[in-house]
Amino acid sequence: MTQTHLFILDQGNSDDRNTASGRIFTCLSDGTEGRDLVTGLRSAPDGISVSADHNYIFWTNMGHPGADGWTNTGSIQRCDIDGKNVITVIEPGTKTHTPKQLTIAEKSKKLYWCDREGMRVMRSDLDGGNVETLVSNGDVENAEHRADYLRWCVGIQVDEDAGQVYWTQKGPPKGGKGKILRCPINGTGSDREGIEVLFDHLPEPIDLSLDLAEGWLYWTDRGDIPLGNTVNRSRIPKKGEKTKHEILVRKLHEGIGLELDVKNRSMYITDLLGGVYRADLDGSNEKVLFPDLGTVTGIAIAHL
């Protein structure tokens, strides 16, 4: 019998380079049968995605903070679905600065991710080859640029059939200057042409998710209540169209991770204070699966 499995990243104390307490935790969709799948992660794991064939789990590591912000030590890793054979596909400090949410474009066999202090939307082959920058908001070698919250890219999703990549720019903490944007996958986003701002003046948008079958865009927001620390959705706008969004879930505690189970019309949410939640796709029937699982970040699902 096929069951829905959750894969949840816990940073643990991974801001301490000498403490390898980060992990991938897995359980069933009701929170039962929980166990550690991968342990010993030490570089602030953040975004996670499972390949459609269920062969691999990919995740990003933000790296380590320094005196002047996050250092250039970000990486991307992969393991088998059973947690074995952990390998690094993007080596620390080589191709990306501070990678955040990660998604897999299955048709083109590409990884897409946002690089926060790198101020970039990026992609590569599944083995880490052919790293490309699709959108750049600044010079990664410029400390003032790296410290500018308005340039930071965080959440990401891809619609391969429509040829679009979506991402968030969070803005200052609780600042009301967050944005959700998109551009053509093979367009000229790096030259600022073809970029659409779908929403602006958001509290602090973080991770994205798409329900392409029903035409919805979902996101978490870490900004101040009542508009922030929420899960939101809107209809995916047509080019040049302005749409309104609605709040589905409120009172998160630094909301971050979001994953849709379109098959079962459910969503799964995490917040940095350790909460893991399940709700219907309209926000109803919210349930706390774990009140304090750790310093949790990204979440992914697989039907196994």
Contacts for 230-236: CB closer than 8 Å, 24+ residues apart: 230/255, 231/255, 231/258, 231/267, 231/269, 231/279, 231/283, 232/205, 234/198, 234/199, 236/159, 236/210, 236/212
- What domains are defined for the chain? 4-303 (2.120.10.30)
User: Quick one: pLDDT at residue 55?
Assistant: 95
8 Å CB contact between 205 and 155: yes
- Condensed to tens digits (0 to 9), the pLDDT of residues 66-98 reads 877 889 999 999 999 999 999 999 999 899 999
* pTM score: 0.96
| Integer CA distances (angstroms), 299 to 67, 139, 206, in order | 29, 30, 13
- Condensed to tens digits (0 to 9), the pLDDT of residues 101-147 reads 999 999 999 999 999 999 999 999 999 999 999 999 999 999 999 99
Helix, strand or coil, per DSSP, at residue 172? coil
Q: Which residues contact 22 (CB under 8 A, 6 or more apart)?
A: 9, 10, 11, 12, 13, 14, 39, 40, 41, 42, 43, 44, 45
Residue 223 has pLDDT above 80, yes or no: yes
- Condensed to tens digits (0 to 9), the pLDDT of residues 138-177 reads 999 999 999 999 999 999 999 999 999 999 999 999 999 9
4-15: average pLDDT: 87
User: Quick one: pLDDT at residue 16?
Assistant: 56
Percentage of residues of the chain with pLDDT beyond 90: 90
60-66: average pLDDT: 92
Task: Compute the distance between CA of residue 285 and CA of residue 301 in angstroms, rounded to an integer.
Answer: 19
User: Quick one: pLDDT at residue 114?
Assistant: 98
What confidence category does residue 191 fall into, taking pLDDT thresholds of 50, 70 and 90?
low
- Condensed to tens digits (0 to 9), the pLDDT of residues 247-265 reads 999 999 999 999 999 999 9
Average pLDDT of the chain?
94
59-63: average pLDDT: 97
Helix, strand or coil, per DSSP, at residue 225? coil
Residue 302 has pLDDT above 60, yes or no: yes
What confidence category does residue 188 fall into, taking pLDDT thresholds of 50, 70 and 90?
low
